Each structure stands twice: as structure tokens, then as C-alpha cells.
Amino acid sequence: MANIRALERADLPAVVALLRDHAGNGVPGADATDEEILAAMVLEHPWSDADLPSLVAVGEDGAVIGFIGAQVRRMVFDGRPIRGVCCTKLVVAPEHRAGAPGALLMGRLLSGPQDVSWSDSSTDPVVRAWRAFGGHVDHARAADFMLVLRLGRWIGSMLSATARRQGLGREITPVGALPLRALGERLSRRAGAQRAPGVEGEDASTASIVEQLPALSRRIRVRVDWDAEQLDHVFDQIESADGPVVRRVVRLSGRPIGWYAYRVRPGGVSTLLHLAAHERASDQVFGELIDHATSVGSSVLAGRAEPHLEWPLHSRSAVLGFARRPTIRAREPELAACLATSAGLLTRLDGEVFVP
């Protein structure tokens, strides 16, 4: 039987080799992982916690045969601190899967002292394992959205990919279904207005975002409690591996009402990572986001259809599709219930940021 222990720096070459050789189709972001990225993600970061380590499975010869990553998140629930772990990159070498070392890794990680655990993308076998350990599919975050901003450019990219006999992957069609409403407001009278009168956005530093978080999160019962050091660390990870991230604070008549961050792809699909807003202001903040993404040349805005985005997406007839199976497990029933509502803020930025 495999031995399960905490990940050490010396294990990183073996873990990266496992991910590259055996997880390309099963673990999000595996093809973009190197030792430094992995170390920054799960081992060497400001919120690293010895009580919540990433884990490896080791065979009888001492070789690393499996891995599961723990991305630690400091959180608040109704004003009190709690701990969260985003589980990422579960992988086991195929020749060592007898004896279920993957289940052992997951069981050990989920039995830690954290209050809530989640994963942003799970395969069917992994979902079954989560259920066996008391977790479930996070249905509140199981759908993705897309909004076409520049119709001609988006259609052109699809035609170009087809001419080159390339598949229409998520970098072109982030939601698989393409009903007519994906063709934008030309064919939909329900497309919502964008930036409302008096609403202005401005590029913001991490420090200025963190300064505004208490006021912007007053009605949010559970959220990640970002500080400037950890938020800078996460943004640096994303930008070093995947390109620029836009960060903006949105104001109404000079008063901050929300902020957002998204990966920008001029001429392509830009991806929303995080949007937080005052109660009843999410539509105004989302409208400013659309205006900005359009102004920098994005052809499509995509992201996860999270509970607090229901009205902004509904009012704009966003296309929704099921692209992944996120999973979640909370110790307290009240915490679990809260996370299923718009009072629980758990975004792509809070979890597996390298999920496509």
C-alpha cells in the first residue's frame, strides 16, 4: 500500500513529471505546469499552512507515484475566520492505481482541519470519490457563461479554425452549445444595458482593492479574506503563466460599488476571474466590465455562472453550458447552505485559476 505524506520541495521534479505524463487530459492546467509554478501554487506562498499541506503518495521504493495539491485560502464566515482548501491536480501513475492511492490522497486531504474544501473541475471518478468522503457536486457553480461582444470577429475566428481543420475549442467557444442568442444583441431584444449613468471604472492596484474589500463585502457572509500579499502572489502566478489580468474598481457617483478581475484576450475570449459588488450593484459592475472588455477588443466574455451573477447574465441573455463538474465539502451545514447562495462568494480567482 502507498504511503501518504506531505509534499516536500525535493518531490517537485517527480510530481511535475507525473502531471506531464499522466494528467494532460485529466487535470486542468497540467500542460502549463513547471516546478516553479507548482511550488508557487501549493508550497511556497504567503498563506502556506503546515496543517494543510499538499500530499504525495510514495511507493515501497520511495518513488512518488501520486499527488494532490492543496491551495490554502484564508476565509471569513459571518465575520469569523475559517480555513479553506482548493484541491487541485490529483494524479496517480497508471501502473500504481491498484490499491486506490488516489482515494487515499483525497481522503487524507479532506480529513484535514479546514472548514471547507472544493475543486473547480473534477472527472466522473473524482466526483464519485468526493461523494464517498461526504462532498457533492457544487451545482451552484457548475455552469459557464459566454457573451458575444464582437460578432464579426468571433464568427471570423470560428471560420478560420474550421478552414485550418482545427476543432472549436474553449479558446474560441467557451460554452459548447450555440443557440441563436449567442449571436449577440442583434438577434436578442433582451440584451441588457451596459454601463449605467454615473458608473465609472478605473484600473486599480492590489493594495487599493484590498482597502475596499470590507466595505464591498458587507453583505457577503462567506468569502476569501484576501490580503495584498496573497492577492499579488496569485495575480503574479496568473500573469506569468497566462498573460495580463485587468483589475478594476467600479464607482457610482464616486462611491466604490464593486471590483472585478479578468484575463484579457484582445481579439479573443476574455475570461472573468472575479467580480464582487455591493448588494443590488452587481448588474452595474458587470455592465462596466462588458464596456471595458469591448473597448480592449475582446470578441467574447466568458466565465463561471456564479450565484451572484444570475441577474446580470439573465438580463443579457447569456449563453450557459455545463463544461465542468466542481465539487465542494463543508463541515457545517449552515456554511454549506450559504455557499449555495449569492451570499457565498467563491469565484474562479479563489480556486483553480489555471482551469481553462
Q: Give the pLDDT of residue 31.
A: 47
Q: Cα separation of 319 and 221, whole Å?
A: 28
Q: Cα separation of 24 and 190, whole Å?
A: 40
186 pLDDT higher than 50: no
Domain ranges in the chain?
3-141, 143-322
Q: Give the pLDDT of residue 187.
A: 44
Phi then psi for 123, rounded to 5 degrees? -75, 170
Question: Measured in whole angstroms, how far is the alpha carbon of residue 342 from the centre of its chain?
Answer: 16
Q: Give the pLDDT of residue 156.
A: 65
Per CATH, 3-141 and 143-322 having the same topology is answered: yes
Q: Give the pLDDT of residue 179.
A: 47
Span 102-130, pLDDT tens digits: 999 999 999 999 999 999 988 898 999 99
Range with the poorest average pLDDT among 168-182, 206-220, 312-326, 342-356: 168-182
Span 36-57, pLDDT tens digits: 889 999 999 999 999 999 999 9
Whole-model pTM? 0.87
Q: Region 157-186: what's the mean pLDDT?
A: 60
**Whats the size of the chain, residue-wise?**
356
Q: Cα separation of 67 and 91, whole Å?
A: 5
- From the options 2.40.50.1070, 3.40.50.620, 3.40.630.30, 3.40.50.300, give the CATH code of 143-322: 3.40.630.30
Q: Cα separation of 84 and 224, whole Å?
A: 8
For residue 4, which amino acid is it? I
Q: Give the pLDDT of residue 1.
A: 74
Q: Give CATH for domain 3-141.
A: 3.40.630.30
Q: Cα separation of 105 and 268, whole Å?
A: 38
Q: Cα separation of 117 and 188, whole Å?
A: 39
Q: Cα separation of 52 and 69, whole Å?
A: 10
- More confident of the two residues 164 and 132: 132
- What DSSP character marks residue 344? B
Q: Which three cell numbers stand for residue 123?
A: 472527472
